[in-house]
Amino acid sequence: MKETLTHQKNDYIDYDRIFPKDPDKIFNEGIITFEIAYPDFYGREVEFLKDAFWDTVRVFKGEYPGYKKCSTKYHDLSHSLSVFLTTARLIHGVLLGGTFIEPLVSIVGLISSLFHDIGLIQTVDDDSGTGAKYTIGHEKRSLEFLQRYLRRKGFNERYIGYCSHIIDCTRLDISVKDINFINPEEELIGKIVGTSDLYTQFSDRIYLEKLFFLYREFQEGGIKDFNNEYELFKNTERFYNEVVLKRLNEDLDGLYRYMKLHFAKRWGMERDFYMEGIQKNIDYLKNVVLKNPRDFKKLLRRAGIVSSLDD
């Protein structure tokens, strides 16, 4: 049965149209959203954005010269493409809220969202472990790829200069308040991408299941904060309430609140489906998973992730 999202007027929208996983669907919705946001912009940079999307797909699938297929299952292709779509939607919402963002600023933000985790991809001559070993510091590798890519495209150097601080906004080991932004437009687009990265992760329908993958990435990447998988789950509720919410509301200026404006305009439904998804995940974690520590794996059945862990 096709899953739908309903509201009080009994009309519905397909769940897969809100959180599509197929690259073609994500691409179409992302570009449509950009075109709705900027109906009069026809610069060549729109083609750069489209190319960047499909080059991201090629890199993660191992079809890009010099790079292997993605070997991390938490920070995977689906995540990067979904962050792109979330970023496009939030840009639209911010514009609807009355704050202008220059089209090229939005484009460099969208391309940055696509490449923000590309530093986890191994090069063809890297035969040791998986890309998870780059977990600590992968942002630097992502930035280097991003800047090389944009320069090859002939992108405006001014906006390439924004990429460093945009990527920094996705780093949880950096306080956004400590980033020395060049100007307000760079700060805004950086905070939009930083918000979108968190929003995408925590709202994913299989976020809880994917924590098993995240634990494995942490182990290989040298993050030894958790002795076992359950400790990561037990920490996640606190991490969300004490770190993520604070970052969203304070460091990132509560920009997620503009998401409702996008959905109201695009779908005629004044709801934030991302926050609804986040709340469902945290509620299930708190009220079901953490109350059954011995059998918690049996309570996480989506996408066949748990049953595949030993494969």
Whole-prediction pTM: 0.95
State mean pLDDT over 268-285. 95
Q: State the Cα–Cα distance between residues 258 and 243, nearest whole angstrom.
A: 21
5 or 226, higher pLDDT: 226
Q: State the Cα–Cα distance between residues 239 and 237, nearest whole angstrom.
A: 5
Question: Residue 12's pLDDT is what?
Answer: 55
Asked if 26 and 54 touch (Cβ cutoff 8 Å), the reply is: no
Q: List, in sequence order, the alpha helices (H) in 116-178.
A: 138-153, 157-160, 163-168
Task: For tokens 């932004």, name the residue.
Answer: 181
Domains and CATH numbers, the chain: 4-308 (1.10.1300)
Please say if the pLDDT value at position 290 is more than 50. yes
Asked if 208 and 300 touch (Cβ cutoff 8 Å), the reply is: yes
Please say if the pLDDT value at position 9 is more than 90. no
Please say if the pLDDT value at position 247 is more than 70. yes
What's the mean pLDDT when you consider all of the chain?
A: 94
Asked if 3 and 59 touch (Cβ cutoff 8 Å), the reply is: no
- Residues ≥6 apart with Cβ < 8 Å to 217: 72, 73, 74, 75, 132, 135
Question: Residue 2's pLDDT is what?
Answer: 42
50 or 43, higher pLDDT: 50
What is the per-residue pLDDT across 84-125, written as a single tens digit (0 to 9) for each? 999 999 999 999 999 999 999 999 999 999 999 999 999 999
List, in sequence order, every residue forming a beta bridge with 67; answer none if it has no partner. Answer: 123
3-state class (DSSP) for residue 137 = coil
Question: Residue 13's pLDDT is what?
Answer: 60
